[in-house]
A and B are shown apart, each in its own frame.
Chain A
Amino acid sequence: MKKLLIILLLAVVGYFLTVSMSNIKFGANRMGDLSQPKTVGAFYLSKTPGELSVANVITAIVVNYRGFDTLGEVSVLFLAATGLGSILYKKKKKGEHIPTVNKPSSALLQAGSKLIFPAILVLGAYVFIHGHLTPGGGFQGGAIIATGFLLMMMSYKDFTMNHSVITWVESLAGITFASIGLIGLIVDHSFLENFLPIGYINDLISGGIIPLIYVAVGFKVAAELSGVLDTLLSIKEK
């Protein structure tokens, strides 16, 4: 009876999925003529290469056209990290070290994570440095770097994050983001306006302020998420 119900439910969901999917014409040009854009998407697609010379249009929208929104997102993440830290804050005695894992992990995992950790850091840095060329960006790269730190925390009992370093990195990255926006306000009359030469499309140094902002966002997200993970792992079950 239960199985029958499940099959029936799946059939209903499948039917509506098929109906709604069959209306989408895959591969059809739904943007229309890019030289005379009619939709917002077509407008961005037609303007981005000339105005900003950024290969990844999504990055151009997120960081440049809607850069203020991204600043807000970064501060939401900052607030979340601060809130977690203030709720779970535990005063440590001087020199006291709270281990992140109860039991030591196996020698195999320790050796392997030593091998993988640099590769994860390089991948994360690649993702946020190439945010304007390939899919990815500051948030994704920062999250990848934080997973690398999580791996180290879980495999080494006495791996600690230096919280003052985390705070400094986070603050400096945030200040960089805001001050880039302020320079744009001073030079070009509006907040987060592009004031650097845009270069040529598909070059590493192109797109004006976009790579700078994404590097700052990458560092900020990596520091925040690592701090959050460290705080969460240091709770002890009673």
Chain B
Amino acid sequence: MMEIIKYIGYIAIGIGSIFLFLGALGIYRMPDVYNRLQAGTKATTLGAMSTILGVGLVEPTWFVKSLIIVVFIAVSNPLSSHALARGAYRASLTPFMKKKMDAYESEIQNEKED
């Protein structure tokens, strides 16, 4: 049983490493701020969570600690990417593709009218 859990942990670390690598590749390859943010935070959230959980599975005495770290990453990483994207939009950085629909712009307009 312990061996199986260990191998699940190794697989989780492998998946996490792949996602972290893809995130790094995305930051290099993507054209604008929003796409890079997407690659750099969405992929690394899963990557870091999976890697740390895998470490917790390989070393069972660290499992609780790794679970706490995973919860913290799950809370903080999307939050920071949200704040960064919002800041970039408010600093009027235009997206790479021509925008067809912009729900946030109308919300800002509503905010100003209030």
Using a CB–CB distance below 8 Å, which chain A residues touch chain B?
A: 103, 105-106, 108-109, 112-113, 115-116, 119
Residues of chain B with a CB closer than 8 A to A116's CB: 72, 75-76, 79
**Nearest B residue (CB) for A104:** B111
Contacting A103 at CB < 8 Å: which of B76, B83, B90?
Answer: B90
Q: Are A109 and B83 in contact (CB under 8 A)?
A: yes
Residues of chain A with a CB closer than 8 A to B72's CB: 116, 119
Contacting B75 at CB < 8 Å: which of A103, A105, A106, A115?
Answer: A115
Contacting B82 at CB < 8 Å: which of A109, A115, A119?
Answer: A109
Q: Are A112 and B75 in contact (CB under 8 A)?
A: yes
Using a CB–CB distance below 8 Å, which chain B residues touch chain A?
A: 72, 75-76, 79, 82-83, 86, 90
Residues of chain A with a CB closer than 8 A to B79's CB: 108-109, 112-113, 116
Residues of chain A with a CB closer than 8 A to B90's CB: 103
B72, B75, B83: which has the most chain A beta carbons within 10 Å? B83
Residues of chain A with a CB closer than 8 A to B86's CB: 105-106, 109
Q: Are B82 and A108 in contact (CB under 8 A)?
A: yes
Q: How far is the CA of A112 from the CA of B80 in the complex (A)?
A: 10
Residues of chain A with a CB closer than 8 A to B83's CB: 105-106, 109
Residues of chain B with a CB closer than 8 A to A108's CB: 79, 82
**Nearest A residue (CB) for B82:** A108
Q: How far is the CA of A109 from the CA of B76 in the complex (A)?
A: 10
